[in-house]
Homo-oligomer: A and B are copies of this chain.
Amino acid sequence: MQVLIVEDEKRLAKALKQILTEQKYMVDMVHDGRDGLDYAMSGIYDVIILDVMLPYRDGFEIAYELRKNKIETPILMLTAKDTVPDKVSGLNSGADDYMTKPFAPEELLARIKALTRRRGEVMLDETGFGDFSFNASTSELSKGAKSVRLNFKEAEILKLLLANRDTIISKEDIITKVWGYDSDAGSNNVEAYVSFLRRKLNFINSSTEIKSIKKMGYRLEQSHD
């Protein structure tokens, strides 16, 4: 679950980041409106926490711009002003929820949960599929007594496969989510990592497969012999 924080007050931004990372969200953090829009436009985030007052471009502009470009990532706006006109303006510009500073961490988490519930499942630390299980907080893949550690990219890719267990996920998707939207990785990079993953799956004697569907992508499948 990826969150983008756009907040120029660095202290607050860091506190937010800590609150969220403690809850196992993956957090990116930028400090002005220009970067905020750039990052948000990637469309890879599950939520954007957006301050209203920002250098270069304010939160309303960013929200408006995103929606105009068909980026539907849920936006949680933050503002110091607790006035009704502002609230309306925020929601009109495309924000999905609104929160005034100061706020309690619980409230933040609750609102984020509400926003993300709408679209998908929250990633649990320990996930399983077929005959293996994967612990995201230790990055360990295991079946029975056997286990291996996955490195960063392997883990990211496996998480994606797990999160999309009943759809085919395309290589393009994997690239933008793991390498970043502006990376110049090619499909062979994904193929190489999928191959590494298969080897590790094999090493723990799992009979789960990462099936490849030509021209479409990958998907996890439990082989039922």
Interface string of A32-65 (1 = CB under 8 A from B): 0000011011111000000000000000000000
Q: Indicate the size class of the contact surface on chain A.
A: 35 or more
Partner of A216, one of B12, B102, B106, B152: B152
Q: Are B41 and A104 in contact (CB under 8 A)?
A: yes
The residues of B that contact A43 with a CB separation of less than 8 Å are: 15, 19, 104-105
User: Could you tell me the distance between the alpha carbons of A186 and B219 in the complex, rounded to whole angstroms?
Assistant: 33
The residues of B that contact A224 with a CB separation of less than 8 Å are: none
Partner of A15, one of B44, B107, B172: B44
The verdict on A10 contacting chain B, using a C-beta distance below 8 Å, is: yes
B-facing residues in A126-143 (Cβ within 8 Å): 137-139
Q: Are B104 and A181 in contact (CB under 8 A)?
A: no
User: Could you tell me the distance between the alpha carbons of A102 and B35 in the complex, rounded to whole angstroms?
Assistant: 9
Q: Are A102 and B214 in contact (CB under 8 A)?
A: no
The verdict on A11 contacting chain B, using a C-beta distance below 8 Å, is: yes
Q: Are A14 and B181 in contact (CB under 8 A)?
A: yes
The verdict on A113 contacting chain B, using a C-beta distance below 8 Å, is: no
Closest Cβ of chain B to A102, distance in Å, is 4
User: Could you tell me the distance between the alpha carbons of A82 and B11 in the complex, rounded to whole angstroms?
Assistant: 33
The residues of B that contact A106 with a CB separation of less than 8 Å are: 69-70
User: Could you tell me the distance between the alpha carbons of A214 and B18 in the complex, rounded to whole angstroms?
Assistant: 20
Interface string of A8-31 (1 = CB under 8 A from B): 001110110011010000000000
